[in-house]
Amino acid sequence: MNVKLLMRRPLVVLVIMVGLGVVAMSAVSHWNDSSVARAQAGFSAASFQGTYAFVTAGGSIDEATLGILVADGNGNITSGSLTLNVPASVLAPGAPGRTVIPATVTQGSYTVNANGTGTATATVNTPGGTLERSFDFVIAQADGSLATEIFLAQREPTLTEELGYFKLKRLSE
């Protein structure tokens, strides 16, 4: 074996490890800068206002939801409408095919933390009755401190016993 090659190997490994360390520290620094910028944005209830379109972004492959939600900027969800598309067997065990369930959001509330995270509740009226739902969310994009895109995760299982994940996009006024 070449002795010079063996002596260089630890040096090469050291250089690679230092390089990886610099890259990792740079990534952590960038992540921390982003976190500080988000906290400095000063999100509040006023950040979540206007009309938002939403769609299921994940969760059950058997259930899809889309709709409109209106938030007033003061911590209140004032209205909304949605359409659920689920297997017919959810409503009538053994039934084949799919069914569409129209629903309305009659009221709700939300809180927004300075870092853009928050919680929300909503009362949803369906032909089968009233559902109370709660959510965790994060403001994913903003124009200044106004939320333009929100990712939302439902706390309770959906009609197909899955957890729902939603993407909300603010509509232009």
Residues 25 and 64 in one domain: no
pTM passes above 0.75 = no
- Indicate whether 13 and 34 sit together in one domain: yes
Q: Is the dihedral of CA 22, 116, 132, 100 positive or negative?
A: negative
Euclidean distance between CA atoms 114 and 43, whole angstroms: 4
Range of the domain at 15: 1-40
Q: How many domains does the chain contain in total?
A: 2
CA 80 to chain centre: 18
Same-domain pairing of 77 and 30: no
Condensed to tens digits (0 to 9), the pLDDT of residues 76-86 reads 999 999 998 88
Q: Check whether residue 112 and residue 28 sit in a common domain.
A: no
pLDDT tens-digit readout, 41-51: 699 999 999 99
Is 157 found in the same domain as 77? yes
Q: Is the pLDDT of residue 17 over 50?
A: no
